[in-house]
């Protein structure tokens, strides 16, 4: 990627070590799989459960969906080998790039790989309590806005949408919450006026049903300068009109923005057989889970986003090639992303070798080295 980003239930943490058995065609899945997702009540969690039921019915595989309240808590079990996959959001990009919370010494750029993603009729945006009387993004000024600790994907999303209206965090009252679910509970309880989410999340429906009601300020495509400011903060967004979500319908659409969500990811060294089998199993079982909830249609083959910001796993690519949807342009794009990750890994190794006890100084040094290395290789750093 040499320019800006291309557009678009008990649970336990267990490492699974079981023999593979052939259960259908050449799909080979273990008896148990585990992946993390957003909190219970989020659309990412609910969609994961629906996919899990389809895998159980067809292949006998039990999927344990582990809720994580923020980006770090979702990716830590993956890195520790306690889960094999993550149904994630925009933090996939941040972790791959080693920015924000992932610029910390204990993290750095993570070699993540995609299997597939979902693009539904929902948007990802900042919802507001209807009784807060926020009609446009500019009306956020002086209002209480949720900020989630360790939730870079959520917070950068808010920052980008504030920028659409010419605002920053300094123009609003930042209200901190420990997780995504807590931020929306805060909306219902009148602790905050606005928070980031998928318009189809279960949490936002609770606000819609509450006395406060819900409203999604629009991001009109006609506002070119607003979108320019938004994309400068979050280049992985694309303009998108939603017809699905709380307070949203075909008759009352929301003109806003979106990016693939959930994004099913793993580490680069995940076993090829497992990645191939899971990708194939989910894609083939789409008819079995597509009606579980309206957002599930985002998993359809024709809604896959193959030109995004993080590379696909080679075993997933093998499957997409087999069914004839992977093109030469996609291959070229994916190879560029792999080269970008190599540049980031080398720059991180050089930076991490330097001795310093000052964590903030280390982050600044890394971000400086990261930008320099990417620019030297002909890539856009995006963040500096």
pLDDT at 190: 98
Q: Is residue 358 part of a domain?
A: no
Q: Which DSSP letter does residue 317 get? A: H
State whether 146 and 268 are in the same domain: no
User: Is 3 among the domain residues?
Assistant: no
Residue 346 lies in a domain: no
Last residue within a domain, chosen from 210, 231, 258: 258
Distance from C-alpha of 239 to C-alpha of 227, rounded to nearest angstrom: 8
In terms of domains, do 181 and 154 share one? yes
d(CA 239, CA 255): 8
- Are residues 151 and 249 located together in one domain of the fold? yes
Are 192 and 146 spatial neighbours (Cβ–Cβ below 8 Å)? yes
Domain membership of residue 335 as a residue range: 21-119+261-340
Q: Do 115 and 131 sit in the same domain of this protein?
A: no
Collect all residues with Cβ–Cβ distance below 8 Å to 10 and sequence separation of at least 6. Answer: none
Clarify whether residues 290 and 240 are in a common domain. Answer: no
- Note the pLDDT tens digit of each residue in 176-223: 999 999 999 999 999 999 999 999 998 999 999 999 999 999 999 999
pLDDT in 10s for each residue of the chain, 384 residues: 444 444 443 333 333 333 333 333 489 999 999 999 999 989 999 999 999 999 999 999 999 999 998 999 999 999 999 999 999 999 999 999 999 999 999 999 999 999 999 999 999 999 999 999 999 999 999 999 999 998 999 999 999 999 999 999 999 999 999 999 999 999 999 999 999 999 999 899 999 999 999 999 999 999 999 999 999 999 899 999 999 999 999 999 999 999 999 999 999 999 999 999 999 999 999 999 999 999 999 999 999 999 999 999 999 999 999 999 999 999 999 999 999 999 999 999 999 998 778 999 999 999 999 999 999 999 999 988
What is the pairing mode between strands 254-258 and 238-242? antiparallel
Residue 283: what pLDDT? 98
Beta carbons of 148 and 292 less than 8 angstroms apart: no
Query: Are 138 and 252 found together in one domain?
Result: yes
Question: Domain end: 226, 258, 290, which one?
Answer: 258
Q: What is the pLDDT of residues 31-85, one digit of tens each?
A: 999 999 999 989 999 999 999 999 999 999 999 999 998 999 999 999 999 999 9
| Residue 15 lies inside a defined structural domain of this protein | no
- Clarify whether residues 153 and 235 are in a common domain: yes
Q: Which residues of 192-217 are buried (b: 16+ CB within 10 A; e: fewer)?
A: bbbbbbbbbbbbbbbbbebebebbbb
Whether 9 maps to a domain, the answer reads no
Residue with tokens 């997780």: 179
Same domain, 156 and 249: yes
Of the three residues 258, 277, 295, the one that is the final residue of a domain is: 258
Q: Is residue 41 part of a domain?
A: yes
Q: What is the CATH number of the domain that holds 243?
A: 3.40.190.10
Which H or E run contains 214?
Answer: strand 214-215
* Cβ atoms within 10 Å, residue 239: 17
CB 109 within 8 A of CB 349: no
The residues facing 186 across adjacent strands are none
- Same-domain check for residues 129 and 79: no
Do 296 and 335 lie in a common domain?
A: yes
Residue 348 forms part of a structural domain: no
Q: What is the pLDDT of residue 357?
A: 80
Q: Work out how many domains the chain is built from and give that number.
A: 2
Among candidate residues 202, 224, 186, the one with its CA nearest the CA of residue 45? 202
Tokens (6 digits) for 262: 């959930």
Q: What is the pTM of this model?
A: 0.85
Q: What are phi and psi of 21, to 5 degrees?
A: -135, 145
A 10 A CB-CB count for 297 gives 17
Tell me: do 130 and 168 sit in the same domain.
yes
* Residue 382 is assigned to a structural domain of this protein: no
Measure the CA–CA gap between 289 and 251, rounded to whole angstroms.
26
Q: In this predicted structure, what is the pLDDT of residue 218?
A: 98
Residues 172 and 206 grouped into a single domain? yes
User: Pick from 257, 21, 57, 272: which is nearest to 157 by CA?
Assistant: 257
> For residue 215, what is the enclosing H or E element?
strand 214-215
Cβ contact 214:208 at 8 Å: yes
């Amino acid at each position: 990627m040499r320019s800006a980003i291309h557009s678009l239930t008990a649970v336990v943490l267990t490492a699974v070590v079981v023999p593979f058995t052939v259960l259908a065609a050449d799909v080979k899945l273990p008896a148990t799989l585990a992946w993390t997702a957003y909190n219970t009540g989020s659309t990412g969690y609910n969609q994961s459960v629906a996919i899990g039921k389809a895998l159980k019915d067809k292949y006998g595989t039990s999927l344990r969906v582990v809720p994580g309240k923020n980006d770090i808590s979702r990716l830590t079990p993956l890195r520790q080998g306690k889960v094999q996959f993550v149904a994630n959001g925009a933090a996939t990009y941040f972790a791959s790039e080693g920015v924000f919370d992932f610029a910390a010494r204990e993290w750095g750029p993570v070699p993540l790989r995609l299997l597939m993603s979902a693009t539904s009729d929902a948007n990802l945006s900042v919802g507001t309590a209807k009784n807060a009387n926020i009609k446009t993004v500019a009306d956020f000024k002086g209002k209480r806005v949720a900020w989630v600790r360790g939730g870079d994907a959520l917070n950068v999303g808010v920052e980008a949408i504030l920028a659409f209206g010419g605002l920053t965090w300094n123009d609003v009252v930042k209200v901190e919450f420990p997780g995504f679910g807590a931020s929306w509970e805060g909306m219902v309880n009148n602790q905050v006026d606005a928070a980031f989410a998928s318009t189809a999340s279960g949490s936002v429906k609770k606000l819609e049903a509450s006395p406060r009601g819900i409203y999604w300020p629009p991001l009109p495509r006609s506002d070119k300068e607003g979108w320019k400011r938004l994309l400068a903060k979050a280049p992985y967004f694309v303009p998108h009109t939603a017809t699905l979500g709380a307070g949203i319908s075909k008759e009352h659409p929301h003109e806003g923005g979106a990016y693939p969500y959930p994004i099913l990811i793993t580490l680069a060294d995940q076993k090829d057989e497992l990645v191939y089998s899971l990708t194939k199993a989910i894609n083939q079982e789409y008819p079995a889970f597509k009606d579980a909830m309206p957002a599930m249609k985002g998993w359809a083959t024709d809604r896959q986003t193959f030109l995004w910001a993080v590379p696909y796993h080679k075993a997933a690519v093998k499957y997409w090639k087999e069914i004839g949807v992977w093109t030469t342009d996609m291959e070229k794009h994916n190879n560029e992303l792999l080269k970008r990750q190599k540049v980031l890994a080398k720059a991180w190794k050089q930076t991490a070798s330097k001795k310093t006890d000052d964590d903030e100084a280390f982050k600044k040094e890394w971000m400086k080295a990261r930008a320099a290395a990417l620019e030297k290789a002909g890539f856009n750093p995006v963040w500096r």
